[in-house]
């Protein structure tokens, strides 16, 4: 296998991870302005979860030296399952222990439900009052 030199001596995986770090920092800054310090912490935690999951995916994929299409496919599936399982576990950890989390991309509206971009929304106020959050 021939290695290709990349600009700055950084490989493609490291470059992608660094881009994720920069995007997380930018999202945290925007969230801090828009939602306050809890929004910034939530954005940082979400970004860290994705960075760690991406690094685990790359590590699992890089460990394999598949020679056939079946081996490569099994490696890709194993890496993806590892990534998804890690994301689920880390999201559970954050949502279970950080009560001031700002879930999703809430818009500037009164409730912000019109702009949510997440499939799972945990509304801590609704949990505390035993009410269900309804999304139209």
Tell me how crowded residue 58 is: count the other CB atoms within 10 A of its CB: 18
pLDDT per residue as tens, the chain (136 positions): 455 555 556 688 888 889 999 999 999 999 899 888 888 898 999 999 999 999 999 999 988 888 899 999 999 999 999 999 999 999 999 888 888 877 765 555 444 444 443 333 444 444 444 444 444 4
- Give dist(CA 54, CA 17) in Å, integer: 7
The predicted model scores a pTM of 0.66
For the chain, state the CA radius of gyration: 19
Query: Shortest CA distance to 79 belongs to which of 90, 68, 71, 91?
Result: 71
Domain ranges of the chain: 9-100, 103-136
Contact (CB, 8 A) for 105 and 115: yes
């Amino acid at each position: 296998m021939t290695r290709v030199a990349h600009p700055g001596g950084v490989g493609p995986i490291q470059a992608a991870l660094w881009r994720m770090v920069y995007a997380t920092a930018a999202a945290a800054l925007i969230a801090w302005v828009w939602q306050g310090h809890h929004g910034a912490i939530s954005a940082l935690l979400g970004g860290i979860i994705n960075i760690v999951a991406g690094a685990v995916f790359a590590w699992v994929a890089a460990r394999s030296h598949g020679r056939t299409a079946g081996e490569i496919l099994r490696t890709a599936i194993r890496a993806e399952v590892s990534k998804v399982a890690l994301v689920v576990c880390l999201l559970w950890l954050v949502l279970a222990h950080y009560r001031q989390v700002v879930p999703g991309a809430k818009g500037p509206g009164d409730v912000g439900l019109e702009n949510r971009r997440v499939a799972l929304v945990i509304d801590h106020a609704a949990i505390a009052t035993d009410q269900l959050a309804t999304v139209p």
